[in-house]
Amino acid sequence: MKHLQHTTSDGVTPFDQIKRAREDGTEYWSARDLMPLMGYARWEDFYKITRRAEASAKNSGQGGFSVITEKAPEGGRPRTDFHLNRLAAYLVAMNGDPNKPEVAAAQSYFALRTREAETKPSFDPAALTRAEILQIALNAEEERLALEAENKELSPKAEAYDTFLDATGKYSVGAVAKMLGKGQNWLFRELRNRGVLITKGAMRNTPYQQYMHHFEVLPHHYERSDGTQGTSYTTYVQPSGIDFIRRKLGLPCIDPLSPAQAA
């Protein structure tokens, strides 16, 4: 089913094609529609991961799962479906079988759409006055010059930060804590206190949606002693997250540690 991951010539993916909209304009996805795109043939299997994702969301104070009963396309007995908002669909993808390439495609799609939604402008550029446009241009030039100067200062540090990257281009929370001269447990605690990381439940120590673009969360499936399946989550930091964390916690700019110190 790998062909389901392909985009059309205008950049529309299968996940875009099955997206639905309510009367108020809010978007959602049907779990029944997502099931084949994520490489699942049986509703019973997909139902389990959807329920697992719903439990994770509830434990972290999130919603986005609407259970509905609908008529089967072929007639017959009514069937259950879920209407999922973007975050709910992302959690379903995160709870899918990591060995399925279709699941990886779903994870990438919903992570990207979440990032796009967070950075989408909230104003109408066509409504700006000439004076406002000129002021925006002036501010942008000032920011560009400031960023250029900052980049020159941070370039050597960025090269040193690269020594802490893992094979996939991200950092463990422990490595970032060492860069900032702190302990891992201290960093987790402070990020929870500042509202960056979820404080309780199955998603504890994973980022809230608005900060997701600075992190990456990987699920790990395991079997409990009673034979049931469970999922745990590990949070990693993207390169952009290092300075975000430093600024969020009000820490001074420091030089990165040597590779030996970070080991």
- Residue-wise pLDDT tens digits, 128-159: 677 777 777 777 777 777 766 655 554 544 44
- Residue-wise pLDDT tens digits, 6-30: 555 556 889 999 999 988 888 999 9
Q: Report which of residues 154 and 253 the model is more confident about.
A: 253
- Residue-wise pLDDT tens digits, 106-116: 999 988 887 77
H runs (alpha helix) in the chain: 14-17, 31-37, 43-59, 86-94, 101-119, 130-161, 173-179, 184-193, 239-248, 259-262
Give the mean pLDDT of 202-215: 91
Gyration radius of the chain over CA positions:
22
Provide the pLDDT for residue 57.
Answer: 83
pLDDT of 233 > 80? The answer is: yes
Q: Which two tokens stand for residue 217?
A: 């969360």
- Residue-wise pLDDT tens digits, 72-90: 777 667 888 999 999 899 9
pLDDT of 105 > 50? The answer is: yes
